[in-house]
Structure 1
Amino acid sequence: MSKECVLMADEAESVFVGIDVGGTNTGAGMVDAEGRLLATVKKRTETSDGDALVRQLAEMVRELLTIRSAKAAFPSSPETGALRAVGVGIPGFLDARRGVVRHAANLPLRDFPLADRLGALLGAPVILDNDVRMYAYGESAVGAAAGYDDALVVTVGTGLAAAVVHRGRLLTGGDLAGEIGHVKVDGNEYACGCGMSGCLETLVSAGGIVRQAKELMRWKPSVLGEWFPERPKAERLQVERTMTAEDVAKAADLGDAVAAEVFERTGRALGSTLAACAALLGTDVMVIGGGVSRAGERLLSPVRRALSERLHPLHSERLKVTAARWTDEAGVIGSALAAKARGGHTV
């Protein structure tokens, strides 16, 4: 067999793992050389310290490899092969070239060499990049941004950030690019986990939606007050469920005025910031992803209204605003494809 044939066989059998680390949950997935998603696992993110998080990520990769090994018992199964590289998408300020997390507002990581630590446990090359960039890379390859020349991909979840894709390539612009969640908003005084106050993320995020709802409930009646009544500390049950952004969305579906106002304010705040981004970049499509994107038109409609009010009609009329194809998987797929493209080395 020729060397070329051997290389082609090795490539066909190779698998790559992508990990999408969130402030609340972490997903990991295995893809083949063509980018097809073969298996996934999901766990609540370990937030006690950096080393504990690395151990959790290594365990998730091994779990995926175990799934692969089990399927390898069937010779015709395509989910076999060797682990070639691991890609990790993580929120925060990074030194992607060195694989170091400089600061993550919702994780206990400060100047932490995550790529080296995880690579040492796995014995495989690991690349690190911002989670939204990896999500955008996945959406541009196999999602709602595929086929567009200029796309802006935004994720709204525990945090808020954006990434730009130009003709299938990520525009990195430095390690701090895309952190729109930490732009201050006039009239907003909420404290942010980054150390500042007034950040857009304190409004446009899962926590921000709940925060706004609780504040409005002090002055306006809401079904949310019936679902989550205020109790004196002595009367609180040990296992009382706390309000989530999904609860606010359900209340909006019932016509609740407080919930409707929260999504209107949230969408307009996001759209106002994105208008400047669109005007600068000449964006064709804006893809809104992340857990909060499950709210659908409750969030997207006020975003579109804000964009229409702030952009020239020639731009706003051709700009498409849509939900992401993948709620969670795009970050996993994008991280795996980035690991494949870079071969374990940053570029």
Structure 2
Amino acid sequence: MSFNVKVLKAAHGDCILISGVFDDGIFRNILIDGGPSKAYEYRQFKGELFNELSKINKQQQVIDLLIITHVDDDHIGGLLKGFKNDGLLSLLTKKVWFNSGKLINEYFNQQENENLIVLNDSGEVGYTSIRQGVDFEEIIERKGIWDKNIIMASDIIHIFGIKFTFLSPNEDQLSKLLGKWEKEQPNSLTSSTHTDYDKTLLELIESDIFEEDNTIHNGSSLAFIFEYKNKRALLLGDARDSVIVNNLKKLLKLGESNRFDLIKLSHHGSKYNTSIEFLRIVDCDKYIISTDGSKHGLPNKVTLARVYSVKPMASIFFNYPNVIDSKIFKKCELEDLENKKFNILDGTIEF
């Protein structure tokens, strides 16, 4: 039995579709995030999420499980589009895992804070409550597809013969969503438009000092190990590096393997979410970065430098050709990079 992982073109966001026949003998589709709204539809143009959902519908299949890692527009915007006005997601989705504002507040037994904010489609910060969340919570609750269980690090869920082991968020990071999120300034860790492409990989490593993403919304991101039979993928959403590192260490002490067939790097290749320490812990030679390179100067070249300094024979997969064609590498680096494998995803990685 095999399954496919498709990293859909979702602009600067994440949208991952895992499909295959699992233990129950039924073909299953698991969707993780939905990118910004343009991943589903932008004006008269249909995005890859819409096209994939159309194929699923024509084949008389469903989205058996939808996982929302966190409430940033580049992960949830396309989902909201797909649910509104009886869209394809409204028709196809059977079960949802989502740490909503309401669920978080119920877990911590506190009053909901109407001043919480989420990112809107333009990338600006718009004041609205997580509870409202463009009505997403109400939609899935009304449809009766929401599995209302808070999910945190160390949770293990078995479904369809698949084992999900969660590494993020921890309770502390989740509880911070109960406080007001401060509006980020243009020079914040997640908002920079500056690239580091003017330096070589060697120069970046020689001057590298890791500084961690400190944003509350990324700290709340779900991240997990997807395990079926002997195949394991590590899907990190936008999770914080230290949370992932600490929880991987806990698993290793319990005798878990550090071997992964595939890792989707956190936060679109941001240098604030992938440390040398993390790369030394994991045993993997295939990494995915999901972004079109249009926002926040991502991916950071120093992230690529870190990967190759620790994993010199690794392959890095991108879901947009223009990211590789964006003059990340200097001419003097190209010969040295002959043995390094940069690949464009053709839409599917088969396991």
Q: Given the two structures, how large is their TM-score scaled by the length of structure 1? A: 0.34
Q: Quick check: which has more Rg, 1 or 2?
A: 1
Give the structure with the larger helix fraction.
Answer: 1
Larger RCO (alpha carbons 8 Å, 6+ apart)? 1
Q: Given the two structures, how large is their TM-score scaled by the length of structure 2? A: 0.33
